[in-house]
Amino acid sequence: MQLKYKLTPYTFILPAMFIITVILIIPIFFAISISLTDAKLLAFSDAKFLGLQNYKTFFTDSNFRYVIRATSIYVVGGVSFTYLFGLITATILNQKIKGQFIYRALMILPWAIPQVVLVLVFRWMLNPQYGVINFLLHSLRIIPRDFAWLSNVNLAIIAILLVTLWKQYPIGCLILLAGMKSIPNEQYEAAAVDGANVIQKFIHITIPGLRYVSAVLILLLVIWSFGNFVIIWLMTQGGPANRTSTLTIFTYLNAFKFSKLGYASAIGFVCLLISLIFSILYYVFFMKKLD
């Protein structure tokens, strides 16, 4: 009976571990094995062993710095602005205002809209000839007529960040708003008695009260940003000149456009390692300190 009692928890998690092994762990090791070969998409059986040559090629590739730059800007910028706008929106919606339900429902709409539809709308608004955003900015004499956002090597990533921010900030707002609701109101009342103003309450009560929620939200946003594909691909397909080609996009291009399956597997494994290392370090040096 004691043995049965000890084995019961492992029996319950066995189906989940089996599924994870089949659909996640085994494919990862299979991809690692492919990354050590010169496998082609349409000639997989003729693959030859190359060792670490694909990894060396990637790190010495002339596009390497553009890929890392695009990935860094997209991840850091997307996470930072999503958290900032989510925090601002959550703070506003946490106030006692009329029609809170309507505002919260409208706020969640960008998250509910499919990414394909969202990108098509933004591509129309950013169109050089008849886009609404271009018309408005040109009317204010900020940009010239027929300004092409998605063809500009420096501003294309900014346009993608704009779409990503519009898509992601509602989920950040909802999570942070839920965290704000969990902060006891007595703390704000005690601070008011001591003469604290709104800014002081926000800095000394709201921000510390959101540390657990913020830690989880930032980690999720980083993981989502690393793996985001649809928005970038539909906006620019990694162009112009690989300036918006993140690790995910660069992996796809090499695998399915250039048919370099082994090389693409190496890039994908590097992306996986970066995400995994960041998650572990983030947990050890930040989240663990919150316990």
Q: What is the pLDDT of residues 5-62, one digit of tens each?
A: 777 888 888 888 999 899 888 989 999 999 999 998 887 778 899 989 999 999 999 8
Q: What is the DSSP letter of 144?
A: -
Q: Is the pLDDT of residue 291 over 70?
A: no
CA angle 39, 44, 45 (to 5 degrees): 115
Q: What is the pLDDT of residue 287?
A: 66
Q: Is the pLDDT of residue 274 over 80?
A: yes
Q: Is the pLDDT of residue 289 over 70?
A: no
Please give the backbone phi and psi of residue 146, each rounded to the nearest 5 degrees, phi first: 60, 35
In DSSP terms, 260 is beta-bridged to 40
Task: List domains and CATH numbers for the chain.
Answer: 2-290 (1.10.3720.10)
Alpha helices (H) in 94-155, listed in sequence order: 100-107, 109-112, 115-125, 132-139
* Position 270 confidence tier, pLDDT thresholds 50, 70, 90: very high
Q: Is the pLDDT of residue 261 over 80?
A: yes
Q: What is the mean pLDDT of residues 171-176?
A: 91
Q: Is the pLDDT of residue 131 over 90?
A: no
Cβ atoms 89, 169 nearer than 8 A? yes
In DSSP terms, 37 is beta-bridged to 49
* Position 76 confidence tier, pLDDT thresholds 50, 70, 90: very high
Q: Is the pLDDT of residue 231 over 90?
A: yes
Cα 1 to Cα 6, 9, 13, 93: the distances in Å are: 9, 14, 20, 54
